[in-house]
Chains A and B, each alone.
Chain A
């Protein structure tokens, strides 16, 4: 049973380009979370999605960032017109149910490291 798969693991983009980060949840998981870890900082919640629905996007920057979790295929975090401040590690996590109900059933991927030059 493969874990949460993220790709690419490392991505370099020039300022103004677009970055797309993909996350395939664990088999049987229908809930996906994205977190951002800035250098020397903790993890900040960005967005919580179920299949075809955004449930909570309170941590997403208002501009340039979007996320989706289609019926088929991985969840995508899209960053348009990247700037240097977007350089960070982006972690995806998945769970089969609401994280607060079953506690330990949230699993993290290995992260995607975005560098904007």
Chain B
């Protein structure tokens, strides 16, 4: 079945770049997503990339996709304290979206 893996924790200093990595197993994935979850809240879709793209940039966010290695990354430029949250990588195959375990990003002022 589908599997999505992420590292559990990342700590960065305010103003630095953050890079959150994700690997997935489903080669038939059509879309890959990054969601943000703040404490006690639901999931907010940050960005997504179609599987035939290798990069997408949206303001401070850059998504890189290496389809051959099934590796997805999210880069947050100029990380702010408000970026502290859990970031979920997800992939959509047929009929459902499969999520990773989430990476908790801690931003140190």
Q: Are A35 and B99 in contact (CB under 8 A)?
A: yes
Q: Are A33 and B48 in contact (CB under 8 A)?
A: no
Interface stretch of the complex, out of B12-20, B64-72, B73-81, B87-95? B87-95
Complex CA gap A55/B33 in Å reads: 23
Q: How many chain-B residues does the 8 Å CB contact rule pick out?
A: 25
Interface residues as binary, A51-78 with B (CB distance below 8 Å gives 1, 0 otherwise): 0000110000000000000000000000
The bracket for how many chain A residues form the interface is 20 to 34
Residues of B within 8 A of A55 (CB): 95
Contact with B94, one of A41, A43, A100, A109 (Cβ below 8 angstroms): A100
Query: What residue in chain A is nearest B45 (Cβ atoms)?
Result: A104
Query: What residue in chain B is nearest A104 (Cβ atoms)?
Result: B48
Complex CA gap A28/B18 in Å reads: 37
Q: Are B95 and A48 in contact (CB under 8 A)?
A: yes
Residues of B within 8 A of A43 (CB): 43, 88, 99, 102
Q: Are A45 and B41 in contact (CB under 8 A)?
A: no
Chain B min CB distance to A63 (Å): 21
Chain A min CB distance to B89 (Å): 9
Given A100-B92, A103-B33, A106-B92, 10 more pairs with CB closer than 8 A: A33-B96, A35-B99, A42-B100, A42-B101, A99-B95, A99-B96, A103-B31, A103-B92, A108-B35, A110-B41
Interface residues of chain A, those whose CB is within 8 Å of chain B, are: 33, 35, 41-45, 48, 55-56, 91, 93, 98-101, 103-104, 106-111, 113
